Amino acid sequence: MTVVDEEQRQSAPRPVGLGVVGWLRWGWRLLTSMRTALILLFLFALASVPGSVFPQRGVDPGQVARYFRDDPGKAEWLDRLWLFDVFRSPWFAAIYLLLFLSLIGCVLPRTLTHLKEIRRRPPAAPRNLGRLPYSAEFEGELTVEEAAARLRKRRFRVDTGPDWVAAEKGHLRETGNLVFHVALLVLLLAVGAGALYGYRGNVLVVEGDGFANTVAAYDRYVPGSAVTAESLEPFSFTLDDFQASYIAPGHEKQGQPLDYSARLSVLDTPGAPARTFDLRVNVPLDVNGTLTYLIGHGYAPTFRITDGDGQVAFEGAVPCLVSNTGTYESECVIKVPDAKPQQLAFLGRFLPSTLPAGEAWISVFPGAANPTVQIWPFAGDLGLDSGEPQSVYDLGAHKNIKPLGTMTVQPRPLAVGESMDLPGNAGKIEFTGVKEWITLQTTYDPGRLPALLASIAAVLGLVFSLTVRRRRVWVRMKDGRVTVGGLTRTEGANFADEFAEITDSLRGPTSGERDVR
């Protein structure tokens, strides 16, 4: 589509009394004009701004919750405008759907026109070349063949007549433009396909435990709407070992993590031989395009809990939530519904590198140099049968439990191997060891590669469409006089230098010039 056509489109007169069809046609023209596409692209960028200003549910739900707690009135209003879900909001969707439509409507007709343009010969020379924006005239014997050859050498497409040569160059501009637009379309489609056919899952795994890639195994699972449970890649693995290292004490950044690595034994399919894989940040596990990432870690102290009847009611690891990422001081909740005669529960505070600090104990380093746990025991009815959902990391919902004995603010911490007898012969809790847990995110996104290719194509197309100029040159020769005329069809472009070069090359070594610009 040429500049002129584009202008005509822009100024398409508004239909007066044309009825519904007329209005629709007008609306479609307006929507599919290149200017509208650009405006929509800017709107798209602008609309993403609030997504960076307000916390987003999809990115940081905790922060959103904090916003609601601190300023509920404002948060509610923001929420009504989808400002915590900008990228899933109807208004954001409206912009990109319009952009999508606009691109389609813009690209299809332009591609057809362009294909015709490319096959067309350069238009014949106008009568008076001296009237063109760029022109030159000189004396010399230049044959049509010679002129055509010299222009071809400059990669012009050339057509000839008895005493004229017409040449044209720069279709790559429109080609690039179309590639850019098509690539944007493909990019949007790839992102959409990824959201539809992909899924994301998060899971916490303790050292020694395994994971099999099934919907039920995830703590949190977010499938695209076209994903079925059977389509999950059937791999599994065991977490053999997790190692983290930190900057040693004494440095300004003491305790900053240096490296994490998780050693996995992976079965790519249920019957396959196991392979070990070293999972690290930046090095995800890849099983046929389903990627598993290491995204977090923490401590899982292990306990043996004996109840009032003398039976072991609990034995195993308890993943604790990190409450201070600088020192990995963590909070643990242990629920023992099997304990008799009454159910038991414990709050714990895990300190990986314990030091006494006055009446209290603190952790001074994230590594487990001197791990201890402070324990606060409870007994009563945990109400786990009531059917209400309960968090494994929270005791707050249990109203029918009471502290065992007198609560102290700072109970003496237990070291590994130590145990504590519960008041009133309610049993015993023994701190048996320390394991670590990791959190993993598994993603499957079939749109990744197409999205990458499309964005590369978009950039290349854009570069061509911004740098290539479309230009035409005509040469007429008659009675030893050669006239050259030039025209660039790109506004704002400077064609003077190139035109001078072309004229020089046509003139060849002979002179006798007269510039009539």
Partner 1 sequence: MSAENLATLSDQLILAAILLYLGAMIGYALELAFAPKPAPVLVAANGDTIERPEPPVAWPLRAGAIGTLLAWVGLAANVGGTLTRGLAVGRWPWGNMYEFVVAMVLAAVTVFLVMQVRYPVRFLGAFVCVVGAVGLGFAARVLYTQAGPVVPALDSYWVAIHVSAAVAASGLFIVGGVAAVLYLVRGDGLSRLPGKAELEQVAHRVIVIAFPIWTFAVISGALWADKAWGRYWGWDPKEVWAFITWVAYAAYLHARATAGWKGKAALIVSLVAFGCLMFNLVGVNIFFGGLHSYADVAK
Sheet with 275-279, strands from edge to edge, namely: 210-212, 236-246, 257-267, 275-279
Using the structure block, give the residue that is written with the tokens 């822009």: 10
In the bound state with partner 1, the residue whose beta carbon lies nearer, of 388 and 491, is 491
Using the structure block, give the residue that is written with the tokens 């987003």: 56
Q: Tell the smallest beta-carbon distance from residue 189 to partner 1 (Å).
A: 14
Q: Tell the smallest beta-carbon distance from residue 382 to partner 1 (Å).
A: 35
Q: Tell the smallest beta-carbon distance from residue 247 to partner 1 (Å).
A: 6
Query: Coil, strand or helix: which one is 107?
Result: helix
Helix (H) or strand (E) holding 4, with range, is helix 3-10
In the bound state with partner 1, the residue whose beta carbon lies nearer, of 222 and 347, is 222
Amino acid at 360: A
SS3 labels along 153-164: HCCCEEEECCCE
Contact in structure between 473 and 147 (CB atoms under 8 Å) = no
Strands (E), 87-140: 134-139
Q: Give the single-character DSSP code of 200.
A: E
Phi and psi (nearest 5°) for 317?
A: -95, 145
Q: Tell the smallest beta-carbon distance from residue 201 to partner 1 (Å).
A: 10
Phi and psi (nearest 5°) for 91?
A: -70, -35
In the bound state with partner 1, the residue whose beta carbon lies nearer, of 246 and 431, is 246
Query: Coil, strand or helix: which one is 422?
Result: strand
In the bound state with partner 1, the residue whose beta carbon lies nearer, of 124 and 463, is 463
In the bound state with partner 1, the residue whose beta carbon lies nearer, of 251 and 517, is 251
Contact in structure between 270 and 389 (CB atoms under 8 Å) = no
Cα–Cα distance measured from residue 187 to residue 457, given in angstroms and rounded to the nearest whole number? 10
Q: Tell the smallest beta-carbon distance from residue 293 to partner 1 (Å).
A: 4
In the bound state with partner 1, the residue whose beta carbon lies nearer, of 67 and 164, is 67
Other C-beta atoms closer than 10 Å to the C-beta of 310 total 11
Contact in structure between 438 and 396 (CB atoms under 8 Å) = no
Q: Tell the smallest beta-carbon distance from residue 199 to partner 1 (Å).
A: 12
In the bound state with partner 1, the residue whose beta carbon lies nearer, of 18 and 45, is 45
- Residue 85 Cα distances to 53, 80, 309, 434, 470, angstroms: 12, 10, 52, 39, 44
In the bound state with partner 1, the residue whose beta carbon lies nearer, of 99 and 165, is 99
Q: Tell the smallest beta-carbon distance from residue 443 to partner 1 (Å).
A: 5
In the bound state with partner 1, the residue whose beta carbon lies nearer, of 274 and 463, is 463
Q: Give the single-character DSSP code of 395.
A: -
Contact in structure between 110 and 1 (CB atoms under 8 Å) = yes
In the bound state with partner 1, the residue whose beta carbon lies nearer, of 46 and 397, is 46
Q: Tell the smallest beta-carbon distance from residue 58 to partner 1 (Å).
A: 8
Q: Tell the smallest beta-carbon distance from residue 326 to partner 1 (Å).
A: 13
In the bound state with partner 1, the residue whose beta carbon lies nearer, of 56 and 160, is 56
Q: Tell the smallest beta-carbon distance from residue 485 to partner 1 (Å).
A: 21
Cα–Cα distance measured from residue 85 to residue 87, given in angstroms and rounded to the nearest whole number? 6
Contact in structure between 110 and 80 (CB atoms under 8 Å) = no
Please give the residue ranges that form the binding site for partner 1 (CB under 8 A).
38, 41-42, 44-46, 48-49, 51-53, 56, 58-60, 86-87, 191, 200, 247, 251-253, 256-260, 280-284, 291, 293, 295, 441, 443, 445, 448, 451-452, 455-456, 459, 462-463, 465-467, 490-493
Q: Tell the smallest beta-carbon distance from residue 464 to partner 1 (Å).
A: 11
Cα–Cα distance measured from residue 104 to residue 498, given in angstroms and rounded to the nearest whole number? 35
Q: Do you find a cis peptide bond into 403, omega within 30 degrees of 0? A: no
